[in-house]
Amino acid sequence: MLAKHVASAHCDLPCGVYDPAQARIEAESVKAIMTKYADNEDPVFRARALNIKEERAELVKHHLWVLWTDYFKPPHLETYPQLHQLFWDATKLAGAAGAKGTVDVGKADDLLAKIDEISKIFWETKAA
């Protein structure tokens, strides 16, 4: 009979697989697409830009939710009680009420600011 070993970790895999940079890269793409959309009058280009922007905004939401549901744990929330609101605001800013549903670059800037706040906390938790 093999001996049983119990192991525990605060995340599913080694933490190196998590990084808010993934959400930021997609959010930067959303912002760039919004700018290109505003600078181009071609309706075909604009239609393609909107489709790509919405795909990228959905990826932002995905990467944020992976961080929220897989990386951050209750002890993080105890130390950073604003985390829930930050993720709520960021995913809303990436969604239909935000970057996914508009071409307003200001919404993309707001989204990037929230991702920066999340990133700061993330790296603080990694250093702990």
The answer to whether residue 8 sits within a structural domain is no
The answer to whether residue 63 sits within a structural domain is yes
Is the separation of the CB atoms in 68 and 87 below 8 Å? Answer: yes
The answer to whether residue 49 sits within a structural domain is yes
Domain that holds residue 61: 18-127
The answer to whether residue 102 sits within a structural domain is yes
The answer to whether residue 85 sits within a structural domain is yes
For residue 56, give the CATH number of its domain. 1.20.120.400
Q: Return the pLDDT at 128.
A: 81
Q: Which residue type sits at 123?
A: W
Cα–Cα distance, 86 to 97 (Å, whole number): 16
Alpha-carbon 16 to chain mean position: 16
Q: Return the pLDDT at 38.
A: 97
Phi, psi torsion values for 51, nearest 5 degrees? -60, -45
pLDDT at 20 over 70: yes
3-31 average pLDDT score:
77
The answer to whether residue 99 sits within a structural domain is yes
Burial 86-95 (b: 16+ CB within 10 A, else e): bbebbbbbbb
Q: Return the pLDDT at 6.
A: 63
85-97 average pLDDT score:
96
Cα–Cα distance, 71 to 76 (Å, whole number): 9
Alpha-carbon 103 to chain mean position: 18
The answer to whether residue 82 sits within a structural domain is yes
Q: How many domains does the chain have?
A: 1
All residues at 6 or more sequence positions from 106 whose CB lies less than 8 Å from its CB, including other chains:
none
Q: How far is CA 126 from CA 63, 81, 106, 111, 112, in A?
A: 17, 17, 30, 22, 21
pTM above 0.95, yes or no: no
Q: Return the pLDDT at 122.
A: 97
113-126 average pLDDT score:
97
